[in-house]
Amino acid sequence: MSRRSRRAVARSTAADRARVLLTGLVLLALGVLVVLLGYGVFGSNRAQRPVVDPVVSDWIAGNADLTRWIAIVGGIVLLVVGLTWAVRSLRPEPRPDVLLSEVPGQRLTVEHSAIADAVRADAELIDGVSRARVRMVGTERRPALRMAVWLVEGTDVRDVWAEIDGRVLARARQAFAVDALPTAVRIELDAAASHAPRVQ
Amino acid sequence: MRFVLRLLSPLIGLVVAAIGAITTIEVVTAWLAPASSPLVVPWPAWRDGLDGLTWSSGAVRTIAIVVGVVGLLVLLVGLVARRHDVALTDPVPEVTVTTSPRSLARAVGHEVRSHADVVSASVVASQKKVVVKAGTLDAPEDVRTAVRERVDEVLTRLPLAHRPRVSVSVAATKGVK
């Protein structure tokens, strides 16, 4: 359960990072290999071979149709992979609605913005909270809550926690009739000036 | 750096898609309608440019170095772009609480500056370490002890999951008290 709340902290960049790291590695390896090849590390003979190698161009000339098909299929594969990649990383993070009942004919969901607004309004009532932001994350089957809370200077974090869990989240859990609602809370300490006088 | 990653990732995806599309288009054009080839990119000119070059030519080496450096930068972006959240202890199992290093530094900074003898202070914080640099008009050693106590007090008050190491340095500032 705590894994789900930890996953709700922020949108995961694991996939983007993996792709970017892979791209970087491939480019770096290509560059290094060609430089080493040019310096004759793999044999001085090989370093003197032309880039458009006669062995390769002869093979292409001998298998023109096969080469074309390989190039076309390779090109289409790159196109599909590249577009999928771009679309996946540009797609906004989904905000799932919460499913209350799945009985056929009585399917009941609560819209994500209704939940987010209710929880936000509740959280902003807490003493010491100057601003709150709430959104649903995850999937419809496994929703989670992400909140950001801005605290007034000098507020005790533990008091705010107790209020968030004991009142705000308890109400949300009760409303959706769930035992546990995974939640990631981001706290911004001392975000707003205190109204108490500094000099006494 | 997460922003750069978010930008770079779809961009690389689009470049890969473009390479694939152009390859397919050029191969099909050259095959079915050789008269209108090259259609998008002047690849016959590129092929002629490659003629006579060997792997040890200067141009090939320069391009390889550029590609390698670009690869290294992309790799660095991927490695550096991670979250730097400061974890607080979880009040209940299904709730995770975090704060930002900046907000931790702000909280520590407020506390340090509220000390009467501190005239200036800068704080850098992360999950593992809090570095405080303060200026004072008094004897730096005494102020240092007091500032340290205050920082320790703030860190005790905050329910941090891992207590960071604290380093405090106080320098004497010139001026009239």
Closest approach of B127 to chain A, Cα-based (Å): 14
What's the pLDDT score for residue A199? 57
**Which residue of A32, A46, A51, A88 is the best one to mutate when testing the B interface, meaning the one whose CB has the most B CBs within 10 A?**
A51
CA distance B44 to A12: 44
pLDDT band per the 50, 70, 90 thresholds, residue A195: low
Calculate mean pLDDT across residues A154-180.
84
d(CA B29, CA B18): 16
The mean pLDDT of B98-127, rounded to a whole number, is 89
Residue with the two structure tokens 């056929």: A104
Model confidence, pTM: 0.76
The domains found in chain B, sorted by start residue, are 2-80 (no CATH), 98-172 (3.30.70.1350)
Encoding tokens for residue B145?
């002890």
pLDDT at A10 over 70: yes
Answer whether A5 sits within 8 Å of B88, measured CB to CB: no
The more confident residue out of B94 and B14 is B14
B39 in Cβ contact with B21 (< 8 Å): no
The neighbour count for residue B5, using CB atoms within 10 Å, is 21
| A84 interfacial to chain B (CB closer than 8 Å) | yes
Mean pLDDT value of segment B32-51: 86
Taking the CB of residue B105, how many other CB atoms lie within 10 A of it?
21
- CA A102 remoteness from chain centre: 28
Q: Which of B5, B65, B159 sits opposite A31 (nearest CB)?
A: B65
Smallest Cα–Cα separation from A4: which of A183, A166, A135?
A183
CB contact under 8 A, A9 and B104: no
Mean pLDDT, chain B, integer: 88
Residue of A nearest to B104 (CA): A189
> Phi/psi at A84 (nearest 5 deg)?
-60, -45
Q: Where in chain A is the domain with CATH 3.30.70.1350?
A: 98-192
CATH code of the domain occupying A98-192: 3.30.70.1350
